Amino acid sequence: MMAELVDSHCHLDFPEFEGETEALIARARDAGVTRMVTICTRIANEPKVRAMAEAHEGLFYSYGVHPMSATTEPEVTVEDLIRLSQHPKMVGLGETGLDYHYTPESQDVQKRSLRVHIEAAQETGLPLIIHARDADEDMARILTEGYRAKPYGCVMHCFSSGAELAKTALDLGFYLSMSGIAAFPKSKELRAIFAAAPLERILVETDSPYLAPPPFRGKRNEPAYVAHTARVGAETFGVSYEEFARATSENFDRLFPKAARKG
């Protein structure tokens, strides 16, 4: 039997995939990807994403305000997130976080939005899905302050930050997620950061339609391609592909209990 994988982060509602949901999911399953979390970053799209998850076994979703959209999306409240989280297939909060690379001018709004998502994670028990770029110091501080006030679960999605932020996240019991970036030939330093982490704290994702791993780099990414990142992950940790797939799937089950395998 083919090893089962989870794509813990994709964006199936994005225009690049319009009209292809059935085919995308079929190709993913052919590659052994039996579960996916599609991330909704716009409140106007939430009904569409929810319907996609409802229509497909093994497809789950999350909702959050992306930091790059913190000034253009309606400001979300803790109550909004709690209400949305009641849906059985809504399994995580985010992606949220801080992006000082593309949107440094909205730092204050991003921080306020991040704290709202942290409070919602604390209240609902759903894991936080974090986007971090060029904001390691503030990110480490805000995540730590929130966790000390009241613990919550979290994954550092598409992790490509520095070793210090990785250490902070791991010390808090959080997870690091490998994307196609970790599979790029020049990402040796990033792979070293992952290799220093416990395998039981690692997830794998595509972030599709972006960041396709080799041999598809530069092309549109899709959930089936998570298998290519997983092969690099297995090499990074010095384990078999089957062991890496099993470990990351079990990790996903722990962090996302609403999407965990039944039985």
- Share above pLDDT 90 across residues of the chain, in percent, rounded to a whole number: 98
Report the distance separating Cα 139 and Cα 97, nearest Å. 8
User: Closest Cα partner for 12 from 56, 52, 57, 65?
Assistant: 52
Q: What percent of the chain has pLDDT over 70?
A: 99
Answer positive or negative: Cα dihedral of 181, 182, 185, 186.
positive
Exposed/middle/buried for residue 87 (C-beta within 10 Å: 0-12, 13-18, 19+): middle
Q: What local confidence, expressed as pLDDT, does residue 263 receive?
A: 60
pTM above 0.75, yes or no: yes
- Give the DSSP letter string of 60-106: EEEE---GGGTTTSPPP-HHHHHHHTTSTTEEEEEEEEEETTT-GGG
18 pLDDT more than 90:
yes
Binding residues: 9, 11, 95, 131, 157, 207
Q: Which candidate, 85, 119, 95, places its Cα nearest to that of 40?
A: 95
| pLDDT at residue 220, rounded to an integer | 98
Q: Binding site for a divalent metal cation: residue ranges?
A: 9, 11, 95, 131, 157, 207
Rounded CA separation 257/148 (Å): 22
A 10 A CB-CB count for 197 gives 19
pLDDT of 11 above 70: yes
- What domains appear along the chain, each with residue ranges and CATH number? 5-259 (3.20.20.140)
Q: Would strands 90-99 and 128-133 be described as parallel, antiparallel, or unpaired?
A: parallel
- What does the pLDDT look like over 195-251, one tens digit per residue? 999 999 999 999 999 999 999 999 999 999 999 999 999 999 999 999 999 999 999
Dihedral, CA atoms, 227, 231, 232, 237, nearest 10 degrees? 130
Count of C-beta atoms within a 10 Å radius of residue 170: 16
